[in-house]
Chains A and B, each alone.
Chain A
């Protein structure tokens, strides 16, 4: 049974003058998933999240939160951190969170929980401007949980965090996901995304070049690096090979080969031998999100 769509984006386009930051972007985030939005700098991650959070106007296209045209009420169900933490610098953490609770129309009872989650309970009455950038980021992450929203939208949440902060963030994401929350996480730290996300969308120049379950993208596939003496012969052999999903000649005679599901490097070696291709080096590597990402970005 298909899961309910929490965020659906159809043909979203954004121009900044002559620059096209988003180019007819289509995207779908299902309920209960942890969706990692990946892409290099300038690929449109923050633009996408800014539009769906109502702080940036799209040039064209539509998006739907919870199956409906978005309005301010839909944002009450979403905890978000876009680009950088934003609070009133002259207010204490307590007052900033009280203010946020009023905006979200929830009580103050969550404030201590948020400060506890952010390890900032002792700084409750410190002014926001007196926090370090890492602590500001921790507060912003914690504040997304205020009022127990159904969805978390986190844009580069690991920015300024120390290793302990990284680990705490991972724990928060897992815990909230276990409680049924949907989480959209934009990042370029691929290892983090691979560890926590169930789904991933990869953006390149404002378009989604890949979308799917992390498990499916990585499952059963192996990357093999092969060096041969006769590159042309190898290309002819690989072009018609049923074992290979795709291959690329990185340098003359050096290939990066992605095997289809359930095929092994040994099968490939056997095949090339039968085709008369002399293999001088064969190295297998686990397929990672990083290797997929880097291939897509080429």
Chain B
């Protein structure tokens, strides 16, 4: 594993694709947080500023960060498909790696990226919480922090699905298009047309539901006449967080196993 980590460190952190996409992720996440924090909106007990305060931010920030998981998944597709494009998976096999090493390298990078995203959410949360507390003294509220851990799991699950498409299709543009088509119209159509009743168990929905709309929002929306019925319908199509997390781990393992089997049976 030491060899795998060293190899991945050398090739990934020098890659322009990695630097550019991570920079874009960082930039967009901060810009979105900054622009949302400037919205002055209040409805009854709800105000936008509460979303940027402890403890609500531990639910709100992972939800915002989950919008950008697509970018991280695209990064995994680009890093993996470039290995096929440059024939460097072949280079690694010829020189003494086996297919398990190739997968382990990509899983390591996925964990590094997910840790970066996790750290970004935690640091931005701490900064925002401190700013919102103003001069009243700084104390960290950890209630709801489990959403941050689940966000980490969600990031890994999205990236493992992306890795599967990358290894299956081997072409950057094709893998990105197919991955996006699966996430948006593809799985939605399957859920609605073919397998109604088990919607909550489909991978993209299940992984997406791990970071639901913050409860501060949903509580306010449910007060709007008619919206409460729709909200309860949506809630009935979702698994509990712990169930969802369990299935997300399962799906991650399934995607990684499928990826390994493709690598193992493929010529380079």
**Same complex origin of A and B:** yes
Chain A residues close to B by CB (< 8 Å): 50, 53-57, 71-73, 75-76, 80, 82, 84, 86-91, 95, 98-100, 102-105
- A99–B92 alpha-carbon span in the complex (Å): 10
Q: Are B10 and A99 in contact (CB under 8 A)?
A: yes
Q: Report the minimal beta-carbon distance from A233 to chain B, rounded to whole angstroms.
A: 56
- Chain B residues whose C-beta falls within 8 Å of the C-beta of A56 in the assembled complex: 267-268
Residue of A nearest to B91 (CB): A86
- A100–B91 alpha-carbon span in the complex (Å): 9
Q: Are B7 and A89 in contact (CB under 8 A)?
A: no
Q: Report the minimal beta-carbon distance from A28 to chain B, rounded to whole angstroms.
A: 22
**Chain A to chain B: the 10 pairs with minimum beta-carbon distance, closest first:** A72-B98, A76-B96, A86-B91, A55-B268, A102-B6, A56-B267, A86-B87, A103-B95, A99-B10, A75-B96
Q: Are B14 and A90 in contact (CB under 8 A)?
A: yes
Q: Residue-by-residue, is B62-97 near A (CB-CB < 8 Å gives 1, otherwise 0)?
A: 000000000000000000000000111011111111
Q: Report the minimal beta-carbon distance from B75 to chain A, rounded to whole angstroms.
A: 15
Q: Are A86 and B10 in contact (CB under 8 A)?
A: no
- Chain A residues whose C-beta falls within 8 Å of the C-beta of B87 in the assembled complex: 84, 86
- Chain A residues whose C-beta falls within 8 Å of the C-beta of B14 in the assembled complex: 88, 90-91, 95
Query: Of A50, A57, A103, which is within 8 A of B96 by CB?
Result: A103
Q: Report the minimal beta-carbon distance from B79 to chain A, rounded to whole angstroms.
A: 12
Q: Are B94 and A57 in contact (CB under 8 A)?
A: no
Q: Are B93 and A57 in contact (CB under 8 A)?
A: no
- A104–B91 alpha-carbon span in the complex (Å): 11
What are 12 A-B interface contacts by the 8 Å CB criterion? Answer: A55-B90, A55-B94, A55-B268, A56-B267, A56-B268, A72-B93, A75-B96, A76-B95, A88-B11, A99-B11, A102-B7, A103-B95
- A15–B6 alpha-carbon span in the complex (Å): 37
Q: Are B11 and A103 in contact (CB under 8 A)?
A: no
- Chain A residues whose C-beta falls within 8 Å of the C-beta of B92 in the assembled complex: 103
Q: Are B15 and A90 in contact (CB under 8 A)?
A: yes
Question: Which of B6, B16, B87, B94 has the most C-beta atoms of chain A within 10 angstroms of its own C-beta?
Answer: B94
List which B91-107 residues lie within 8 A (CB) of chain A. 91-98, 101
Whether a CB of chain A sits under 8 angstroms from the CB of B38 is: no
- A90–B267 alpha-carbon span in the complex (Å): 25
Q: Residue-by-residue, is B101-118 near A (CB-CB < 8 Å gives 1, otherwise 0)?
A: 100000000000000000
Across chains A and B, the number of contacting residue pairs, with CB separation under 8 Å, is 73
Q: Are A89 and B86 in contact (CB under 8 A)?
A: yes
- Chain A residues whose C-beta falls within 8 Å of the C-beta of B10 in the assembled complex: 91, 95, 98-99, 102
Question: Which of A71, A76, A86, A102 has the most C-beta atoms of chain B within 10 angstroms of its own C-beta?
Answer: A102
- A72–B268 alpha-carbon span in the complex (Å): 14
Q: Report the minimal beta-carbon distance from B257 to chain A, rounded to whole angstroms.
A: 20
What's the tally of chain B residues with a CB closer than 8 Å to chain A? 24
Q: Report the minimal beta-carbon distance from A96 to chain B, rounded to whole angstroms.
A: 9
- Chain B residues whose C-beta falls within 8 Å of the C-beta of A104 in the assembled complex: 95-96
Q: Are A55 and B93 in contact (CB under 8 A)?
A: yes
Q: Are B11 and A54 in contact (CB under 8 A)?
A: no
- A71–B98 alpha-carbon span in the complex (Å): 8
- Chain B residues whose C-beta falls within 8 Å of the C-beta of A72 in the assembled complex: 93, 96-98, 101
- Chain B residues whose C-beta falls within 8 Å of the C-beta of A50 in the assembled complex: 267
- A103–B265 alpha-carbon span in the complex (Å): 21
Q: Report the minimal beta-carbon distance from A137 to chain B, rounded to whole angstroms.
A: 15
Q: Report the minimal beta-carbon distance from B172 to chain A, rounded to whole angstroms.
A: 15
Question: Which of B91, B92, B265 has the most C-beta atoms of chain A within 10 angstroms of its own C-beta?
Answer: B91
Q: Are B86 and A100 in contact (CB under 8 A)?
A: no
- A268–B93 alpha-carbon span in the complex (Å): 55
- Chain A residues whose C-beta falls within 8 Å of the C-beta of B98 in the assembled complex: 54, 71-72
- Chain B residues whose C-beta falls within 8 Å of the C-beta of A76 in the assembled complex: 95-96
Residue of B nearest to A74 (CB): B96
Q: Are A90 and B96 in contact (CB under 8 A)?
A: no
- A99–B7 alpha-carbon span in the complex (Å): 5
Q: Are B96 and A105 in contact (CB under 8 A)?
A: yes
- Chain B residues whose C-beta falls within 8 Å of the C-beta of A55 in the assembled complex: 90, 93-94, 267-268
- A76–B98 alpha-carbon span in the complex (Å): 11
- Chain A residues whose C-beta falls within 8 Å of the C-beta of B267 in the assembled complex: 50, 55-57
- A139–B243 alpha-carbon span in the complex (Å): 53
- Chain A residues whose C-beta falls within 8 Å of the C-beta of B97 in the assembled complex: 72, 103
- A170–B268 alpha-carbon span in the complex (Å): 29
Residue of B nearest to A95 (CB): B10
- A89–B85 alpha-carbon span in the complex (Å): 11
Residue of A nearest to B98 (CB): A72
- A40–B94 alpha-carbon span in the complex (Å): 24
- A98–B265 alpha-carbon span in the complex (Å): 29
Q: Report the minimal beta-carbon distance from A84 to chain B, rounded to whole angstroms.
A: 8
New A-B pairs, 9, CB < 8 Å, besides A50-B267, A91-B10, A99-B11: A54-B94, A75-B95, A86-B87, A86-B88, A86-B91, A88-B14, A88-B86, A88-B88, A105-B3
